[in-house]
Chains A and B, each alone.
Chain A
Amino acid sequence: AQSVSQHNHHVILSEAASLELGCNYSYGGTVNLFWYVQYPGQHLQLLLKYFSGDPLVKGIKGFEAEFIKSKFSFNLRKPSVQWSDTAEYFCAVKPGSTNAGKSTFGDGTTLTVKP
């Protein structure tokens, strides 16, 4: 069964600091990879996605992620965070298999950005 691991449960940064949130997955086949953000009191929103091609993916709000197949990783980065980036971030994996409907989410990382 596939699983997704997000290494940091809670990250606290000051504004303008750089961000990297780790995401590793366990699944041997082809995958689709996603990062979602959930702002306080709001619904899940897609930040970025990887299907194929360039492993460096750029998303909304200055976020990017790099797919490293050999490491089964899809880490999220942002060079300079803002107070408004305070939210919960979820990494998700959808396999390219017969069970293509099944998304597996990581447990999430809560990011707090101090002004």
Chain B
Amino acid sequence: DAMVIQNPRYQVTQFGKPVTLSCSQTLNHNVMYWYQQKSSQAPKLLFHYYDKDFNNEADTPDNFQSRRPNTSFCFLDIRSPGLGDAAMYLCATSKGLAVLSSYNEQFFGPGTRLTVL
């Protein structure tokens, strides 16, 4: 089945130690998104890629970076994790960004829960 896969499902890192979260998709979608979801809060968009075009949200901290080496994979790099970065990180994809179109529909992965010690 076509899907969005996130590895690992659980990640523990130390304060200040760089960490990379991985997302892959078999949907061949053009757009990949990264969201941060803290406990009992809404998912918050960090950035998205449309193909190789990177779009950063204005309030995403510089500590968060992303790479998309090819259509299938997208990585979230946290350069120096702080305690406040502990959260669930969700990857999502959509076929496109066209308004009023099913291309806009997002498909979510299971998430990676990051713990910072």
Q: Are A49 and B90 in contact (CB under 8 A)?
A: no
Q: Are A44 and B108 in contact (CB under 8 A)?
A: yes
Q: List 11 A-B contacts (CB under 8 A).
A: A34-B106, A42-B110, A44-B90, A90-B42, A94-B104, A96-B99, A101-B50, A101-B97, A103-B106, A105-B44, A108-B42
User: A-contacting residues of B (Cβ < 8 Å)?
Assistant: 31, 33, 40-45, 48, 50, 55, 57, 90, 92, 97-102, 104-111
Closest-by-CB residue of B relative to A50 is B100
A102: Cβ under 8 A from any B Cβ: yes
Q: Are B109 and A43 in contact (CB under 8 A)?
A: yes
Partner of B45, one of A4, A96, A102: A102
For window 30-80 of chain A, which residues contact chain B by CB distance below 8 Å? 30, 32, 34, 36, 42-46, 49, 51-52
For window 17-40 of chain A, which residues contact chain B by CB distance below 8 Å? 30, 32, 34, 36
User: B-contacting residues of A (Cβ < 8 Å)?
Assistant: 4, 30, 32, 34, 36, 42-46, 49, 51-52, 90, 94-97, 100-108
Cα A43 to Cα B102 in complex, Å, equals: 20
Given that A43-B109, A96-B99, A102-B57 are contacting pairs, would A90 and B43 also be in contact in the complex, using a CB cutoff of 8 Å? yes
CB-CB under 8 A from B98, the residues of chain A are 100
